[in-house]
Structures are given as C-alpha cells and as structure tokens.
C-alpha cells in the first residue's frame, strides 16, 4: 500500500498549488512542503480557518494514506521568503524546536492536534539557496 509522506521544512507559496495538483495525478506522492503546508488538520496561528495543503490533499485523495511529519531541528538557518517577491528571500536564523541532535523519525499513535502524524528530527539546519536563481522581470 503506497504511503504519501508530506514533509517540511520549506516551500514557497507559488509551489503549493502546482504541487497539490501534481499529487492528484500521481500514485505515490512524496512531497516536501513547509511545516504549516503539510498539516492534516485546519488552522494556523495567523488564521483559524487556514486549510493546509495536506488537509486539502486528504480530502481530494482519500484513497492515499498520508503521513505529515513535523520537522524539528536544533536550530540554524533556513532559506525563507517573507513574500512572493524574490528579494524577500534569504538565509534567516531559526530557533531550536528540539534538543535531540540525532536524526530520527517517530510516529504518534494518532494524529496530534496540529495535524501531524509524527516528528522528523533533523539536528542542525543550514540554509540552502535555490539551485536556480529567481528571474527578475
């Protein structure tokens, strides 16, 4: 039985919709998206009605067993965009969300209140800029 893993730690808003559409037509999607985008439950700190990509995918493809992992790191840097503008994107510091330095995956007995099936501990993070530079029009 195929399992779709929806992981983090980053995506850009202009990638979410095409990624979701691609998931609708594949048999074993393994998508890497941001921590809020991968949740299987609604809501976010900035919008109680937010419906993340993971939740939408679970509704559109109920035949796919989905696993959404909350990425936990010991801190570092991540390539983060604050808007759709390419010049809002650069390496930014991140806070630690776990003290465990060893890489590991643990699954919860049931989905937690945030819509995660488990935790993916990655240790320290290092920002990686896009492989292809943004095209400025």
Residue 120, beta-bridge partner list: 71, 105
Q: What is the pLDDT of residue 75?
A: 93
Phi-psi region of 22 (alpha: psi -120 to 50; beta: other; left: phi over 0): alpha
Q: What is the pLDDT of residue 14?
A: 38
The answer on pLDDT for 85 being more than 80 is yes
pTM, two decimals, is 0.69
Residues with Cβ within 8 Å of residue 2, at least 6 apart in sequence: 27, 28, 64, 65
The answer on pLDDT for 107 being more than 50 is yes
Q: Give whole-number Cα distances, 64 to 31, 83, 92, 95, in Å.
A: 13, 31, 34, 33
């Amino acid at each position: 039985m195929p399992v779709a893993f929806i992981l983090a730690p980053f995506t850009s808003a202009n990638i979410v919709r095409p990624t979701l559409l691609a998931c609708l037509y594949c048999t074993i999607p393994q998508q890497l998206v941001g921590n809020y985008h991968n949740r299987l439950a609604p809501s976010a700190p900035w919008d109680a009605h937010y419906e993340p990509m993971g939740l939408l995918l679970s509704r559109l493809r109920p035949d796919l067993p989905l696993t959404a992992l909350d990425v936990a790191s010991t801190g570092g840097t991540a390539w983060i965009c604050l808007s759709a503008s390419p010049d809002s994107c650069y390496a930014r510091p991140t806070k630690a969300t776990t003290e465990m330095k060893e890489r590991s995956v643990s699954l919860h007995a049931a989905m937690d209140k945030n819509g995660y099936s488990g935790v993916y501990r990655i240790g320290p993070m290092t920002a990686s800029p896009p492989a292809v530079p943004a095209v400025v029009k």
